Chains A and B, each alone.
Chain A
Amino acid sequence: MSTYAKKKGFGATLWDFLTTVDHKKIAILYLITGGLFFVVGGLEAMFIRIQLAVPNNDFVSAGLYNEIITMHGTTMIFLAAMPLVFALMNAVMPLQIGARDVAFPFLNSLGFWLFFFGGTFLNLSWFMGGAPDAGWTSYASLALQSEGHGIDFYVLGLQISGLGTLIGGINFLVTIINMRTPGMTYMRMPLFTWSTFVVSALILFAFPPLTVGLTLMMFDRMFGANFFVTAAGGNTIIWEHLFWIFGHPEVYILILPAFGVFSELFATFSRKRLFGYSSMVFATVLIGFLGFMVWAHHMFTVGLGPIANAIFAVATMAIAVPTGIKIFNWIFTMWGGKVRFTTPMLYAVAFIPSFTMGGVTGIMNAAAPADYQYHDSYFVVAHFHYVIVGGVVLGLLAGITFYWPKMFGTMLNETLGKITFWFFLIGFHLTFFIQHFLGLLGMPRRVFTYQKDLGWETSNMISTVGAFLMAVGVLVMVYNIIITSIKNEKVGNDPWGDGRTLEWAISSPPPFYNFKQLPLVRGLDPYWIEKMEGKTEMTPAEPLGDIHMPNGSFLPVTISFGLFVAAFGALFHMDDKAWSIPVIIIGLLITFGSMLIRSVKDDHGFHIHKEDLMDNTDKGGKS
């Protein structure tokens, strides 16, 4: 295995990616799949904006519009943002803590393939009788009435991909707890690793309620249960609670990794230690903790009563405190630093005001009485796009640009990167800033068109123009990726020149075993410490020895594919198709059969021998 064939055919490469358990390759798989879904979700967004550009538009029908907004939200949250976050975590976190791989490489691959088949299943709905159309929240009272199979695709697809996410979360937690290199204490972990840790904990506790909610919905729709059927004693509020007990932590699952990326960026490009490191860690943990106490602020208008509303309003406002700590720490990190405005740093600087605006409207929404006014209006749409796009997407774009050389060994073009940045930033504010006022003027969210002379025409047109600017930005980025991949100019260990953490101490991309010898960490920003002492590489913490690596496996694909098949059986069960039960059984047999093979067949992995490691010094994997 140590002899790495340089030129591989397409088939061999494909097979390599289908069976890989290497966290760096899985990161690339997440990036590609997440990127494709991001484009799909973006197209849906463009259709929404085209439809709303002028009053009484008939670009799409009302029913199709419902499907588009549902799929836009669902795709962007579950199939674009989540996997892109996972791509960064997989690519960077093990390197940052000095590990050779994640704790469970097999499960890492399984997590990806579950997400892949779940996401594919969900999007197949477009070609099989219509997409889900009850909004991304899929409130039960509406979802149970929805005809066709859209909601069933939603329920089963999210169930499968949710399983993958849960597995990924547990994997990252164990990796961070058990696999840190000597000297890498908790309080020396880079902020991105810290946010991965907190996010994984949130995933662990937030996804089970979603699993339960989706299961209940599946039972109601496909197997005749009555959880949400009021006539049989059911209660639709149960879905809303379960969904938001999951849903609120979910938005922190998305934003915290972005915070982590920005923390790395501000320190790197200000050539300064992160200001208030321990308060940053504390704030991250506190945001994660409070994230579970606030879900009912999505349900203020349900009528939970003034006491419940008051408690959840206060808890929500409390989250502004740790978030504020973070904002100030980022500003103080730049203060007095030698700031370099690279593309990722531009995103980071733009993120602060953009995200803060989303935070401030969040506090406005948290005031329960005022929320009765904002609820279900474009004000809310503007608010969550300011935090999701102004926070998460800017973070992802920054993170992808920043870590691109570490993942692929070549830099993205800086000029094109800056063009993308300006188009995207201006387009973003143009699209969503005006929507605050549309909301205050009374435009409800989720309507497919509106009348003339309500005073909404100009604002909507401006918003649509902004969306096109964002699309141009994304297109430039795609062009950038293609052109730099073709040129493929190889870069060294630390292409940005100011890397502070362990990942910049090894080659780009790293060898598949990451570290030839595990590095010794002597403080926060370990690579920076070594640099300041005039060294070019880390001090090893162990003598050169054999490295134990896991074997690749095709089973994750078959396990996930089995569930994909079974989901079709369950989906058509409500049509009384005779073949539905056999299909469920066949699918589950594939899944459980593969699991049985996995558990019965011993897999001890393999060793890279010391001698082979000494031979190829050019691999750059030294410590």
Chain B
Amino acid sequence: MHAEEKFTDATWPASPEKATLEGKNKYLGFWLFLGGETVLFASLFATYLALKDKVPDDNMALAKDLFELPLTFIATMLLLTSSLTSVYAMYHMKNRDFKKMQSWLLVTVLLGAAFLGLEVYEFNHYVHEFGHTFTSSAFGSSFYTLVGFHGGHVAFGLMWIISLMVRNAKRGLNLYNAPKFYLASLYWHFIDVVWVFIFTVVYLMGMVG
């Protein structure tokens, strides 16, 4: 199957992301990359856990003083839902329904952007209300690095999905761009996986003490 081939609904392959050798390679390569990313985030988590609540001065805010349930809860719901919407987008990709795929991707992007907005508000809040900054303590450095790395991944994912949507808006689906959309959605799920650990290990366990 060639990347430039024209399709009807009936001839569109069941797994368009893996129908060409290029697609298959990209699919596998991206999963391997995610395997590496797992170790990257594990190292950041490990660093955070080693430096959690390590502050030079007893008056400085600790994890249990900083975090609040409602904010984390809303952020979690936003990101979890965006994971489902990107599944919907891929569902429509497999059905070769480009319009619906684009609209679900748009919902995903909006949810992701809302999450990012919330994170910016949160960081701002910590800095101004608690004096908890990147340079104030080892705890601060490790917290902002871990959560910020995740936020950076969200931002990169947003830019990736948006540029795919814009680039392909006029020409619809083919076997050349199907793997690209699919990888972007895998990346988005991975971001969600990391967030599951962040809200559990950083926020919830931080509040438990």
- Provide a sorted-by-A list of 25 A–B residue pairs whose CB atoms are within 8 angstroms: A103-B28, A174-B25, A178-B24, A205-B35, A208-B37, A208-B39, A208-B40, A213-B43, A216-B145, A219-B141, A225-B145, A226-B137, A227-B51, A232-B56, A233-B137, A233-B139, A234-B138, A234-B141, A238-B47, A238-B51, A596-B163, A599-B164, A599-B180, A604-B3, A604-B4
A422 within 8 A of B: no
B98 within 8 A of A: no
- The DSSP consensus for interface residues of chain B is helix
Map CB proximity to B onto A29-66 as digits: 1 under 8 Å, 0 otherwise.
00000000000000000000000000000000000000
The reply to whether B137 and A178 contact each other, CB–CB distance below 8 Å, is no
The reply to whether A225 and B37 contact each other, CB–CB distance below 8 Å, is no
How many Å lie between the Cα of A103 and that of B137 in the bound state?
45
Q: A204-B32, A219-B141 are in contact. Are A234 and B54 (CB under 8 A)?
A: yes
Interface size on B, residues (CB 8 A): 38
Would you give the shortest CB distance from A371 to chain B, in whole angstroms?
24
Would you give the shortest CB distance from A423 to chain B, in whole angstroms?
41
How many Å lie between the Cα of A207 and that of B32 in the bound state?
13
A166 within 8 A of B: yes
User: Which of B55, B141, B163 meets A227, CB within 8 Å?
Assistant: B141
Determine the residue in chain B with the shortest Cβ distance to A175: B25
Q: A174-B25, A216-B145 are in contact. Are A207 and B43 (CB under 8 A)?
A: no
B36 within 8 A of A: yes
Contacts of A179 on B, CB cut-off 8 Å? 21, 25
How many Å lie between the Cα of A212 and that of B37 in the bound state?
11
The reply to whether B141 and A226 contact each other, CB–CB distance below 8 Å, is yes
A104 within 8 A of B: yes
The reply to whether A103 and B29 contact each other, CB–CB distance below 8 Å, is yes
How many Å lie between the Cα of A205 and that of B140 in the bound state?
27
Contacts of A220 on B, CB cut-off 8 Å? 141
A177 within 8 A of B: yes
B199 within 8 A of A: no
A486 within 8 A of B: no
The reply to whether B167 and A604 contact each other, CB–CB distance below 8 Å, is no
Contacts of A215 on B, CB cut-off 8 Å? 145
Map CB proximity to B onto A152-195 as digits: 1 under 8 Å, 0 otherwise.
00000000000000100011011001110000000000000000
The reply to whether A224 and B134 contact each other, CB–CB distance below 8 Å, is yes
Contacts of A166 on B, CB cut-off 8 Å? 36
The reply to whether B39 and A226 contact each other, CB–CB distance below 8 Å, is no
User: Which of B28, B135, B136, B176 meets A177, CB within 8 Å?
Assistant: B28
The reply to whether B29 and A235 contact each other, CB–CB distance below 8 Å, is no
The reply to whether A242 and B43 contact each other, CB–CB distance below 8 Å, is yes
User: Which of B3, B35, B54, B137 meets A235, CB within 8 Å?
Assistant: B54
The reply to whether B40 and A211 contact each other, CB–CB distance below 8 Å, is yes
A209 within 8 A of B: yes
How many Å lie between the Cα of A233 and that of B50 in the bound state?
10
B130 within 8 A of A: no
Would you give the shortest CB distance from A356 to chain B, in whole angstroms?
32
Contacts of B54 on A, CB cut-off 8 Å? 233-235
How many Å lie between the Cα of A73 and that of B24 in the bound state?
39
Would you give the shortest CB distance from B46 to chain A, in whole angstroms?
8
Contacting residues of chain B (130-177) with chain A, CB-CB under 8 angstroms: 134-142, 145, 163-164, 167, 176
Q: A219-B141, A224-B134 are in contact. Are A173 and B32 (CB under 8 A)?
A: yes
Contacts of A174 on B, CB cut-off 8 Å? 25, 28-29, 32
A→B interface (CB under 8 Å): 103-104, 166, 170-171, 173-174, 177-179, 204-205, 207-209, 211-213, 215-216, 219-220, 223-227, 229, 231-235, 238, 242, 245, 596, 599-600, 602, 604
Would you give the shortest CB distance from A105 to chain B, in whole angstroms?
10
User: Which of A104, A226, A238 meets B29, CB within 8 Å?
Assistant: A104
Contacts of B135 on A, CB cut-off 8 Å? 223-226
Would you give the shortest CB distance from B159 to chain A, in whole angstroms?
9
The reply to whether B137 and A212 contact each other, CB–CB distance below 8 Å, is no
Contacts of A224 on B, CB cut-off 8 Å? 134-135
B33 within 8 A of A: yes
The reply to whether A225 and B56 contact each other, CB–CB distance below 8 Å, is no
Would you give the shortest CB distance from A211 to chain B, in whole angstroms?
6
Determine the residue in chain B with the shortest Cβ distance to A225: B141
The reply to whether B33 and A170 contact each other, CB–CB distance below 8 Å, is yes
Contacts of B4 on A, CB cut-off 8 Å? 604
Contacts of B136 on A, CB cut-off 8 Å? 232
B44 within 8 A of A: yes
How many Å lie between the Cα of A173 and that of B21 in the bound state?
15
The reply to whether B51 and A178 contact each other, CB–CB distance below 8 Å, is no
How many Å lie between the Cα of A69 and that of B43 in the bound state?
29
Would you give the shortest CB distance from A170 to chain B, in whole angstroms?
5
The reply to whether A238 and B56 contact each other, CB–CB distance below 8 Å, is no
How many Å lie between the Cα of A244 and that of B3 in the bound state?
44
Task: From A170, A223, A242, name the one whose CB has the most chain B CB atoms within 10 angstroms.
Answer: A170
Would you give the shortest CB distance from B131 to chain A, in whole angstroms?
13
User: Which of A173, A178, A207, A212 meets B47, CB within 8 Å?
Assistant: A212
Contacting residues of chain B (14-54) with chain A, CB-CB under 8 angstroms: 21, 24-26, 28-29, 32-33, 35-37, 39-40, 43-44, 47, 50-51, 54
How many Å lie between the Cα of A136 and that of B142 in the bound state?
25
Would you give the shortest CB distance from B40 to chain A, in whole angstroms?
4
The reply to whether B138 and A232 contact each other, CB–CB distance below 8 Å, is yes
The reply to whether A599 and B137 contact each other, CB–CB distance below 8 Å, is no
How many Å lie between the Cα of A224 and that of B140 in the bound state?
11
Would you give the shortest CB distance from A373 to chain B, in whole angstroms?
30
Task: From A232, A233, A600, name the one whose CB has the most chain B CB atoms within 10 angstroms.
Answer: A233
Contacts of B21 on A, CB cut-off 8 Å? 178-179
How many Å lie between the Cα of A223 and that of B134 in the bound state?
9
User: Which of A170, A171, A177, A178 meets B36, CB within 8 Å?
Assistant: A170
How many Å lie between the Cα of A225 and that of B135 in the bound state?
5
How many Å lie between the Cα of A464 and that of B89 in the bound state?
67
The reply to whether B24 and A233 contact each other, CB–CB distance below 8 Å, is no
Determine the residue in chain A with the shortest Cβ distance to B56: A232
Contacts of B138 on A, CB cut-off 8 Å? 226-227, 229, 232-235
Q: A216-B47, A225-B135, A233-B54 are in contact. Are A205 and B28 (CB under 8 A)?
A: no
Contacts of B167 on A, CB cut-off 8 Å? 599-600
Determine the residue in chain A with the shortest Cβ distance to B167: A600
The reply to whether B47 and A208 contact each other, CB–CB distance below 8 Å, is no
Contacts of B164 on A, CB cut-off 8 Å? 599
How many Å lie between the Cα of A173 and that of B33 in the bound state?
11
Determine the residue in chain B with the shortest Cβ distance to A246: B43
The reply to whether A234 and B28 contact each other, CB–CB distance below 8 Å, is no
User: Which of A204, A227, A600 meets B142, CB within 8 Å?
Assistant: A227
Contacts of A604 on B, CB cut-off 8 Å? 3-4, 176
Would you give the shortest CB distance from A538 to chain B, in whole angstroms?
21
How many Å lie between the Cα of A208 and that of B34 in the bound state?
11
Contacts of B55 on A, CB cut-off 8 Å? 232-233
Contacts of B33 on A, CB cut-off 8 Å? 170
Contacts of A238 on B, CB cut-off 8 Å? 47, 50-51
The reply to whether A209 and B39 contact each other, CB–CB distance below 8 Å, is yes
The reply to whether A212 and B29 contact each other, CB–CB distance below 8 Å, is no
Would you give the shortest CB distance from B36 to chain A, in whole angstroms?
5
